Amino acid sequence: MENFRIEHDSMGEVKVPADKLWGAQTERSHENFLIGVGIETMPREITKAFGYLKKAAALANNELKPEKMTAEKKDCICKACDEVISGALNDNFPLVVWQTGSGTQSNMNTNEVIANRANQIAGKKLCHPNDDVNMSQSSNDTFPTALHIAATVEIEDKLLPAIDLLAGTFRQLEKDNEGIVKSGRTHLQDAVPIKFSQEISGWRTSLERDREMIVSTLPYLKQLALGGTAVGTGLNAPKGFDVLVAKKVSELTGKDFITAPNKFHALSSKDEVAFAHGALKALAADLMKIANDVRWLASGPRDGLGEIRIPENEPGSSIMPGKVNPTQCEAMTMVAVQVMGNDTAVGVAASQGNFELNVFMPVIAYNFLQSVRLLAEVMVSFNKNCAVGIKADKEKMHFNLHNSLMLVTALNPYIGYENAAKTSHLAYEKNISLKEACVQLGFLTAEKFDEVFHPEQMA
């Protein structure tokens, strides 16, 4: 028994694996783009988004052109789309990111899979990939639509909850550590005191502000190119299709999508995605800062700052027994670096909208969705395996605080800036306390120093 079947397209016949639902155009791409096979396939978030938009298109076409999109065709296509959305047909989407820049082959992959599965459901040859599944559409408006749907769904359903989770943990840590005063640090040097809860509040607020910025990009991502067809004119799409299909996508996803007001812009410009990824980069930058703060504060355990303790999750060395490393911090910083690199790729790709179409869309989709996925997953991991277990080492914080020369700032109102500087320099040079230096220089008596010097009240 042969393990392939013969499919055909406008270029002729093609052998397709017998157990797969894709057709001739998918197979040609599968054979012609052996780049990153099995590793850099089109993101499943895009595949799922295509399932939503093809179902929405079938529903809209049935209302606007029932003589062509019959109820029978619509029902079979919708059932096939549901299987695409659920992931049941994922094995039938083999194409890589590194293909045509318009995503045409992934659009056709979807059309062929849905058509063949619809025909299986119907028990007859009922649906055609181009004429039925792709009715009123073009690859040029479907791929950017799939990108916007996937970006919106992943941000709202995966990324925002992860931000809320970590921010919530920091909020609890603020409460748990209220009243603990420690040395502040600027330029990686000792600075005036700060409450540990205040330091944590900076981390929390950074996440909350990043969330606000990410949310501010969603109204732009929720504008869909669908209905613009090949070049933005809407050729071969019935009047009102764009508005109706956006409504259908909204109903299917539970997100409030609208049709893009200018389809020429929607097909050729990827500025909305570049803007949104900029907000993702801002989040990555703050996660880098937070992770670095945590691992610096936890450094040691004896020869570092050692002001906090973090969970010990796994051995840190193959040669040094007992060593434990801040691995969750390292994972988060690596994700931050990847997202920053992705931002460059997305920005350059977004600049390539020549005439009526941007032809760098698969690489934009790949990098954007990877950024969302990595950011969400690393925050969940960092929260579970590090943040919830952060404990203040009060003794070390107290020691570092009272050993800091920058406490001399508290003396400015009593002896002036220049005399306070002299006190600090003498204490450092002779390795003596600020009190000893101040008294030795004759700026304050020991009794007066004790009266005015209260580090914990400086925060």
What pLDDT was estimated at residue 1? Answer: 41
Active site annotation includes 317: yes
Residues of the chain with pLDDT under 50: 1
What pLDDT was estimated at residue 323? Answer: 87
What pLDDT was estimated at residue 2? Answer: 64
What pLDDT was estimated at residue 134? Answer: 98
What pLDDT was estimated at residue 324? Answer: 86
Which position among 8, 216, 317, 454 bears the catalytic label?
317
Helices 327-350 and 361-385 cross at an angle (nearest 10°) of: 160
Active site annotation includes 187: yes
Q: Which among 79, 92, 95 has a CA at the least distance from the CA of 39?
A: 95
